Amino acid sequence: MRVGFLIIDMQAVYLEDLDKKVIEHACAYINHVSGLIRDKGHVVIHIQDVEGMLESNRESFGIIPEVRIDESDLKVSKESSNAFWQTELEQILLEQNVELVIIAGFAAEHCVLFTYNGAIERGFKAVLLQNGILSTHADIIASTYRDRNLISHTAINYLAEHSH
């Protein structure tokens, strides 16, 4: 089974109100998992929300430097909460033969959740990365984890080793 790791909206413009330690904690998990995924020949996709981006604020819409990006990683731009809506994401996943999407990033109650639901609606298996999603509301993360499929980095390591 081929895995796609979706890293959603890890952009300065959205993360400026979060504590730096919270961001660094999530990025440690995101970077670890993206390394595992890449090393085993699976797909890492960075998703950027470009709604409201102008030439004057373009820099703040960039992915934060704490998130490692490899030249093999793919990028998808979106203008709505669901990264599948009016983007090429579904086509990319199908072309890459991805069956399982692991989702991380910002914001648990918006883009992460809507993309998770969008993946399921399109027939993909979807899980959230434990310790890899962010929100400006800590209680939202707990309820998001409670009500959705969740995966740890150790399980991802096993999965990456034993799937293709």
**Cβ(125)–Cβ(101) below 8 Å:** yes
Give the pLDDT mean for 50-66: 83
Determine the residue type at 44: V
Per-residue pLDDT tens over the stretch 87-145: 999 999 999 999 999 999 999 999 999 999 999 999 999 999 999 999 998 889 988 88
Listed residue (86, 105, 118) closest to 44, CA to CA: 105
pLDDT at 164: 60
Looking at CATH, the fold of the domain delimited by 2-161 is given as Rossmann fold (3.40.50)
Domain spans in the chain, listed from the N-terminal domain onward: 2-161
Model's pTM, two decimal places? 0.94
Mean per-residue pLDDT for 18-28? 96
pLDDT at 53: 73
Name the residue with higher pLDDT: 17 or 116.
116
Instruction: Give the residue from 108, 2, 44, 63 showing the smallest Cα distance to 117.
Output: 108
pLDDT of residue 4: 97
CB atoms within 10 A of CB 124: 18
Cis peptide upstream of residue 104 (ω within 30 degrees of 0): no
